[in-house]
Amino acid sequence: MKETSSTPGADAVSSDPGVSLAQASPSLFDYASVQILSLVFGGCCSNVWLYENLLLLNPRIGSALTFSQMMFISLQSLPSFITCSPDTWIPRLKPRQVPLKNWATQVLVLSTGSLLNNWAFAFKVPLTVLMIFRSAGLPVSMLFGLFFLKRRYSLVQVFSVIMVSVGVTIATFSRPPSSAPSQSNSDIRQYSIGIVMLILSLLCTGFLGMLQEKTYQRYGPCWKEGVFYTVHFCHSAPFYTDGRQKHCLSLPIFLFLVQDVKQGLASLSEPTRTSAAGMPWLILAGNLVTQLICVSGVNRLTSRVSSVSTNLVLTTRKAISLCFSVWWFGNGWNLQLGVGASMVFLGSMLYSAGARVEKKKTE
């Protein structure tokens, strides 16, 4: 897996080094890369399944879940980032590798995108529609890289990214929507609001990918600091984000969402016909642990490759999660789902081939 350039403030036009799933076998990967992909695919796919179970219990649990994830990861990371001085008993944060204003900017962008993404479920947006929007993350990242990072992409890379996005879309349509908006004006209006939320969330995700890539290029792969102060979103709803969430600096935002958080957590204690008492809380606990695994893997991945390459890996992860979800919840495998998944893997290999050709040309 290629590392991105760490030259500070590099303004020169560059080509995306790329990464492919064809390189994902242990024989071709070094130990660190195998570990990263294990965290991403294992942690995020498990997180998907647990999240969907929570969503079945309460579609409006988004704010409570996002708050719980941020609080859990912040508390887990806190001991590594505080120090105690012999002159005072009050602990202080250790010196940062990245200026706080950089993290704060990313927090604002991705907290907004994460909350918008979660809130869309409450506006009668089907899960399949949300997956279609998440699949558009690849072209959005490529457009941001083209216009803002002055990066060039070959026709093969462009075609492969389109193929991956189309493949995820086809696979998504193979699964029946879990809900559908009615024809009433009120429901149509709510559905439209949800779609606008997803569009804004998608733009936030693309913008955040560019911000974090530039941060790692300038200050190095400080992914542990990123996990504590921010985490690359995705993110938020684990089915459709990729472990890119905000944590420590995001918590004050939830002062404005106290009622939503309380309602979501209270719903976990309400008796249901489909789960035993206390089971929703166990599912939430599992979701928090797997989210930590997922975001750690995504941040390590982001610190080593470009945002488009990261999105390529994460889009493939979404396709695998979708296939597993279809199988687990009994919707069955079909030709459409198989075609979509095949397009995702083929697009990944084409992207890598295009990157190698561009690298040879530049050399």
Q: What is the C-alpha to C-alpha distance for residues 259 and 264, in angstroms, rounded to an integer? A: 9
Q: Token pair of 157, please?
A: 């890379």
- In this prediction, what percent of the chain has a pLDDT beyond 90? 2
- Phi and psi at residue 53, to the nearest 5°: -65, -40
- In this prediction, what percent of the chain has a pLDDT beyond 70? 69
Say if residue 239's pLDDT is above 50.
no
Give mean pLDDT, residues 231-249: 39
Under DSSP, the state recorded for 180 is: -
Contacts of 85 (CB under 8 A, 6+ apart): 92
Lowest average pLDDT, out of 93-102, 105-114, 140-149, 318-327, goes to 318-327
At residue 276, what is the residue type? Answer: A
Q: What average pLDDT does the structure give for the chain?
A: 72
Give mean pLDDT, residues 77-92: 76
3-class secondary-structure state, position 93: strand
Say if residue 286's pLDDT is above 90.
yes
Instruction: Evaluate whether 326 touches 332 at the Cβ level (below 8 Å).
Output: yes
Give mean pLDDT, residues 298-306: 79
Instruction: Evaluate whether 123 touches 194 at the Cβ level (below 8 Å).
Output: yes
Instruction: Evaluate whether 40 touches 313 at the Cβ level (below 8 Å).
Output: yes
pLDDT of residue 310: 76
Q: Is the pTM of this model over 0.75?
A: no
Q: What is the C-alpha to C-alpha distance for residues 263 and 129, in angstroms, rounded to an integer? A: 26
pLDDT band at residue 351 using 50, 70 and 90 as cut-offs = confident
